[in-house]
Chains A and B, each alone.
Chain A
Amino acid sequence: SQQGEEDPQALSIQEGENATMNCSYKTSINNLQWYRQNSGRGLVHLILIRSNEREKHSGRLRVTLDTSKKSSSLLITASRAADTASYFCATTGTSYGKLTFGQGTILTVHP
């Protein structure tokens, strides 16, 4: 990946449990976004956090951003089988909005 690593690369949990995924990046950013991708399909935007924000919530999602460590985490609470997908973080560092993706975490939620 051009951006960095996502941790873990794969995560397997039971329905109802929380899932935490981490992302590190290398360059300075304007914002960091999380996307979800079901197998072989399009990328769905989940949440955007600006570089001057530290935490953001959206429904069952909680995102944190630590610009000093160049890292972010995505927490999905009370997971559901339908949350099974790949999750990518992506950063923008230019004014034209180009996204640089991390390698992604494959999340499997067992019913």
Chain B
Amino acid sequence: AAGVIQSPRHLIKEKRETATLKCYPIPRHDTVYWYQQGPGQDPQFLISFYEKMQSDKGSIPDRFSAQQFSDYHSELNMSSLELGDSALYFCASSPLGAGADTEAFFGQGTRLTVV
């Protein structure tokens, strides 16, 4: 079965550079979520999209932006990178339109290292 695809899997950037993370949700899933997980931490919600519109916003820095495209894939854009942005970034998708009690399916994550 198709899963959530994230690319790249690993990314190394220097401070003040920009990075773009991509997420391809499971087909027919209408909702995409982005999470950030620092070393030894629990995942923290960043932002979500439902039917290509931003649906919820968490602790996402102003330096970050995201969008969901017409084909439902999503991109997380990160600018002016800081050392503290080094983390595992997860994308998840769910068929939320089918009801609120649906599980989210997570991708394998993108490990971002800022040096």
Query: What residues make up the interface of A, taking CB atoms closer than 8 Å to B?
Result: 1-3, 30-31, 33, 35, 40-45, 48, 50, 88, 90, 92, 94-104
Within 8 Å CB of B43, what residues of A?
Answer: 43, 88, 90, 99, 101
8 other A-B residue contacts (CB within 8 Å) besides A43-B106, A97-B48, A98-B58:
A30-B101, A40-B88, A92-B100, A94-B56, A96-B31, A98-B33, A99-B92, A101-B42
- A107-B109 Cα distance, complex, nearest whole Å: 21
Output the least CB separation between B101 and chain A (Å).
5
Known: A97-B31, A97-B33. A45 touches B111 (CB 8 A): no
Q: Using a CB-CB cutoff of 8 Å, which residues 49-80 of chain B contact chain A?
A: 50, 55-56, 58
Chain B interface helix/strand/loop/mixed? strand
Interface residues of B (CB under 8 A from A): 31, 33, 35, 41-45, 48, 50, 55-56, 58, 88, 90, 92, 94, 96, 100-109, 111
- Let me know if B42 and A102 touch, CB within 8 A: yes
Looking across the interface, which residue of chain B has its beta carbon closest to that of A49?
B101
With A and B bound together, what is the CA distance between A95 and B33 in angstroms?
13
State A71–B89 Cα separation when bound (angstroms). Answer: 27
Find out whether the CB atom of A99 lies under 8 angstroms from the CB atom of B42. Answer: no
Q: Residues of A contacting B108 with CB < 8 Å?
A: 41-42
- Which residues of B are found within 8 Å of A94, using beta-carbon distances? 56
Query: Could you say which residues of chain A place their CB within 8 Å of the CB of B44?
Result: 2, 101
Q: Complex Cα distance A103/B40, Å?
A: 9
Residues of A within 8 A of B100 (CB): 30-31, 92, 95, 97
Contacts of B55 in A (CB 8 A): 96
With contact pairs A98-B33, A98-B48, A99-B104 given, residues A42 and B90 touching in the complex (Cβ less than 8 Å): yes
